[in-house]
Structure 1
Amino acid sequence: MATSRNKSVLSTLEFTIRPIKKHTDPILQRRGKLVSRLNIQLEMAKCLIENEVFTAYKEQWVTDQETGIKDKVKIPKRIRSWFYSISDIYYFDLKYGSKPLEASKGKATVVVGEKRRLTSVIQSLIGAVEAGELDTQLATIKRVGKK
């Protein structure tokens, strides 16, 4: 109980109206997602060039059968490469999710050439995405479950 000598606890706090959370631009979100996926492809390409095995991990909750305690563990994650070789010429499919992302009408595949050029092509694509060169294509993408 507050007395005239003592301040109440609530009077020592500063109250305000709840601030409105600003929504981030969906294009910026899509750019970030595409850049992160391209970085994974870049790591895969580096491993291919250096003849190493690429393994990505995801965290998953697993329940111990004996104790019943849940624990987070890292398990290997299957990631498909966006690059492939036909007759010793490498190609790179630019994708957003599982859909091809066309840089120009009907063209979503980059001709890479030699295997060693994969990293430079992917880095160029990352630069193009960060510069906003694919914003019109990213704007046409619909959210999953929306029509």
Structure 2
Amino acid sequence: MSTLNGLKLVVSKKQLHASPIVIRRNKLISKLHEQLELCEAQREGKTYAPVRLKTYVNKATGERMTAEVAKRVKEWFWVSNENNKINLAVKYGAKTLMLNKKSKANAIELASGDELISTLKALKVAVANGELDEAIAEVSEATRLAFGK
């Protein structure tokens, strides 16, 4: 018992669910990580195809089977025709986030692939710090209202 006396004992309860804000941040961070992996693979001349598990029912036997299937990752970036710059749009689900409400900016203009990779890394940090919470909440609310029609 002398060991327990030397410890600080408290009454605590484990939190079962994270707050919706944290869940949304983590979702966007994981999608930014996918985009980062995609960019790095393209820079090295490789293809990036993460796998996911798909469960289906075998029609012949009727048993449930699980198979690894390549996941499709859509690029959030493209090369602009006017000035040959790379544009990056940050998406939450299928919707593009409004990055600046005043100018209604929805994309980031970049000069090179290396700048794209560094910008994606900076965006991951910004999302973790909560800088895009307002934009994420706005898009999330619009999506939620669309289901209520």
Q: What is the TM-score of this pair, normalised by structure 1?
A: 0.77
Deviates more, 1:84-93 or 1:101-110: 84-93
> Take 2:18 and 2:114, find their aligned partners in 1: how far apart are those partners?
37
> Take 2:125 and 2:106, find their aligned partners in 1: how far apart are those partners?
17
- Cα offset for 1:146? 4.3
> 1:113-132, aligned counterparts within 5 Å?
113-132=111-130
Higher strand share: 1
Alignment equivalent of 1:86, drawn from 76, 80, 87: 80
Deviation track 1:42-65 (CA, whole Å, cap 9, x = no partner) reads 111111111111112221113334
Alignment correspondent of 2:105: 107
> Take 1:30 and 1:64, find their aligned partners in 2: how far apart are those partners?
35
- Cα offset for 1:128? 0.5
Alignment correspondent of 1:24: 18
Sort the Cα spacing of 1:22 and 1:77 in 2 relative to 1 into closer, same or farther, 3 A: closer
> Take 2:148 and 2:123, find their aligned partners in 1: how far apart are those partners?
28
Unpaired stretches in structure 1, ≥5 consecutive residues: 1-18
Q: May I ask how many residue pairs the two structures share in their alignment? A: 129
> 1:1-147, aligned counterparts within 5 Å?
23-87=17-81, 88-105=84-101, 106-140=104-138, 141-142=140-141, 144=144, 145-146=147-148
> Take 2:38 and 2:86, find their aligned partners in 1: how far apart are those partners?
14
Task: Specify the code of the residue in structure 1 equivalent to 2:28.
Answer: L
> Take 1:42 and 1:56, find their aligned partners in 2: how far apart are those partners?
13
RMSD over equivalenced CA pairs, Å: 2.3
> Take 1:74 and 1:114, find their aligned partners in 2: how far apart are those partners?
34
Sort the Cα spacing of 1:71 and 1:92 in 2 relative to 1 into closer, same or farther, 3 A: same
Larger-gyration structure (1/2): 1
Deviates more, 1:85-94 or 1:25-34: 85-94
Unpaired stretches in structure 2, ≥5 consecutive residues: 1-12
Fraction of identical pairs, as percent: 28
> Take 2:121 and 2:134, find their aligned partners in 1: how far apart are those partners?
20
